[in-house]
Amino acid sequence: MSKYSVQISGKDLSIAHSVNRSLADKIAMMLISERVSKAIPTTNTNKALNDDTTTSNIEEPSARFSDFIDTHGVTCSGELVTSLGLFLDGRGKLTFTKDEYRAYFKMLRGKLPTNVPRDFSNALDNKWISEDSEDQFKVTSLGEKMVNDKLN
């Protein structure tokens, strides 16, 4: 079993402990959640995300999405597509589009994805996402399980 080191220090406090992967993941999620809760966008930004996701509208949430995919260990494009859907779902947006994927990908990697149809086909073929309506996708229970299993 891998051991992870957790250290907290500050005025009048110094704690260092070795913990297992499961506890390390829980601590990381708690810290990320705390950071996210302090950086929740205003109602206007939430409305912009739900109405029209443009690059200027997603700058702040993309930093949180970057934390989300890093925490979940996302590596392949199909996982990235599914993770975006789950990330947006957690913020009240039940479906997502290929344009939103392109915008978030560009914010994360500094360039547009090279093969969006292949990325979505990978996620669709694995049944991680389903097409809700034309160019509207949602994460399936299998996709949610895949992303959450990557935490363990």
| Residue 71, token pair as written in the block | 């925490």
**Same structural domain for residues 56 and 13?**
no
Taking 90 as the threshold, does the pLDDT of residue 127 lie above it? yes
Q: What amino acid is encoded at 9 in this protein?
A: S
| pTM metric for this prediction | 0.57
Tell me: do 26 and 64 sit in the same domain. no
Whether residue 105 has pLDDT greater than 70:
yes
Predicted confidence (pLDDT) per residue in 61-100, tens digit: 556 777 777 776 777 888 889 989 988 888 888 999 999 9
Region of residue 91 (left: phi > 0; alpha: psi -120 to 50; beta: else): alpha
Instruction: Give the pLDDT of residue 106.
Output: 85
Q: Which of 91, 92, 97 is nearest to 129 (CA)?
A: 97
Torsion of CA 5, 8, 9, 12, to 10 degrees: -130
Residue 27 predicted with pLDDT over 90: no
pLDDT at 7: 80
Q: Are residues 27 and 49 located together in one domain of the fold?
A: no
Q: Taking the CB of residue 124, how many other CB atoms lie within 10 A of it?
A: 18
The answer to whether residues 69 and 141 belong to one domain is yes
What burial class does residue 120 get, using C-beta atoms within 10 Å of its C-beta: 0-12 exposed, 13-18 middle, 19+ buried? buried
- CATH at residue 53: 1.10.10
Q: Is the domain of 67 the same as that of 136?
A: yes
State both tokens at 50.
């739900």
CB 120 within 8 A of CB 76: no
Q: How far apart are CA 40 and CA 69, in angstroms?
A: 18
CB 116 within 8 A of CB 98: yes
pLDDT tens string 30-58 = 665 544 444 334 333 333 334 444 443 44
Structural domain that includes position 4? 1-38
What pLDDT, on the 0 to 100 scale, is given for residue 31?
Answer: 64
